Chains A and B, each alone.
Chain A
Amino acid sequence: MNKPKIELHKIEKIKNGITILKDINLKFSSGKRHILIGPSGAGKTTLLRLLNRMDEPTFGEILYDGKNFKDIPVLDLRRRIGMVFQIPIIFDGSVKDNLTVPYRLRVIPSPIKQDELIKILELSGLQSDFLERKASELSVGEKQRLTVARALINKPDVLLLDEPTSALDHAAGIKLLESIKELNEVLGLTIIMVTHQLEYASLLGGRIIHLVNGTIVREQESEDFFLNSEII
Chain B
Amino acid sequence: MEGLNFNLIDISYLDLIISLGLIIVAAGISKWQGMYLEGDLIVGAVRTFIQLLAVGYILKYIFAFDRWYLIIFIILIMIIIASLTVTQRQKKRTIELPFIVGFAMTAGSGITVFVVTQILLQIKPWYEPHYLIPLAGMVIGNSMNGSTLAIDRIDSEIKSRKMEIEAYLALGATARQAAGASIRAAMRAAMIPTINSMMVVGIVALPGMMTGQILSGTSPLIAVKYQIIIMYMIALSVAISSYLLTNIRFNRYFTSDHRLKEESL
- Least distance between A92 CB and chain B CB atoms (Å): 9
Given A53-B257, A75-B258, A154 and B164 touching (CB < 8 A)? no
Asked if B171 and A89 sit within 8 Å, CB to CB, the answer is no
Asked if B257 and A107 sit within 8 Å, CB to CB, the answer is no
Residue from A54, A85, A89, A154 within 8 A of B172 (CB atoms)? A154
Q: How far is the CA of A105 from the CA of B139 in the complex (A)?
A: 36
The residues in A between 69 and 108 inclusive whose CB is less than 8 angstroms from any CB of B are: 74-76, 78-79, 82-83, 85, 87, 89, 91, 101-102, 105, 107
Q: Is B68 an interface residue (CB 8 A)?
A: no
Interface 1/0 per residue, A119-155 and B, CB below 8 Å: 0000000000000000000000000000100110010
Asked if A78 and B170 sit within 8 Å, CB to CB, the answer is yes
Q: How far is the CA of A82 from the CA of B171 in the complex (A)?
A: 7
Asked if B173 and A83 sit within 8 Å, CB to CB, the answer is no
| Interface set of A (CB-CB < 8 Å, partner B) | 52-56, 74-76, 78-79, 82-83, 85, 87, 89, 91, 101-102, 105, 107, 147, 150-151, 154
Contacts of A107 in B (CB 8 A): 171-173
Asked if B174 and A75 sit within 8 Å, CB to CB, the answer is yes
Residue from B163, B171, B262 within 8 A of A87 (CB atoms)? B163
Given A85-B163, A89-B163, A53 and B259 touching (CB < 8 A)? yes
Given A102-B171, A150-B171, A74 and B258 touching (CB < 8 A)? yes
How big is chain B's contact interface, by range?
10 to 19
Q: How far is the CA of A107 from the CA of B262 in the complex (A)?
A: 24
Asked if B170 and A82 sit within 8 Å, CB to CB, the answer is yes
CB-nearest residue of chain B to A55: B259
Beyond the given pairs A75-B173, A105-B177, 19 more chain A to chain B contacts, judged by CB atoms under 8 angstroms and listed by A's residue number, are: A52-B170, A54-B170, A54-B260, A55-B262, A74-B258, A75-B174, A78-B171, A85-B163, A85-B167, A89-B167, A91-B164, A102-B171, A102-B172, A105-B168, A105-B172, A105-B174, A151-B171, A154-B171, A154-B172
Residue from B166, B171, B259 within 8 A of A56 (CB atoms)? B259
Contacts of B80 in A (CB 8 A): none
Q: Is B169 an interface residue (CB 8 A)?
A: yes
Q: How far is the CA of A75 from the CA of B164 in the complex (A)?
A: 17
- Least distance between A46 CB and chain B CB atoms (Å): 11
Residue from A54, A82, A150 within 8 A of B166 (CB atoms)? A54
Q: A54, A55, A150 — which one has the most chain B CB atoms within 10 A of its CB?
A: A54
Asked if B171 and A74 sit within 8 Å, CB to CB, the answer is no
Contacts of A85 in B (CB 8 A): 163, 166-167, 170
Contacts of B164 in A (CB 8 A): 89, 91
CB-nearest residue of chain B to A108: B172
Q: List 10 A-B contacts (CB under 8 A).
A: A74-B259, A76-B172, A78-B169, A82-B170, A82-B171, A89-B163, A101-B168, A105-B168, A107-B173, A154-B171
Contacts of A53 in B (CB 8 A): 257, 259
Contacts of B260 in A (CB 8 A): 54
- Least distance between B40 CB and chain A CB atoms (Å): 43
Contacts of A89 in B (CB 8 A): 163-164, 166-167
Q: How far is the CA of A56 from the CA of B258 in the complex (A)?
A: 11
Asked if B163 and A101 sit within 8 Å, CB to CB, the answer is no
Contacts of B167 in A (CB 8 A): 85, 89, 91, 147
Asked if A74 and B257 sit within 8 Å, CB to CB, the answer is yes
Q: How far is the CA of A78 from the CA of B178 in the complex (A)?
A: 13
Given A53-B259, A54-B259, A74-B257, A105 and B173 touching (CB < 8 A)? yes
Q: How far is the CA of A147 from the CA of B168 in the complex (A)?
A: 11
Q: B168, B169, B170, B174 — which one has the most chain A CB atoms within 10 A of its CB?
A: B170
CB-nearest residue of chain B to A150: B171
Q: How far is the CA of A221 from the CA of B106 in the complex (A)?
A: 64
Q: How far is the CA of A147 from the CA of B167 in the complex (A)?
A: 9
CB-nearest residue of chain B to A89: B167
Contacts of B258 in A (CB 8 A): 74-75
CB-nearest residue of chain B to A92: B181
Q: How far is the CA of A76 from the CA of B171 in the complex (A)?
A: 10
Contacts of A91 in B (CB 8 A): 164, 167
CB-nearest residue of chain A to B164: A89
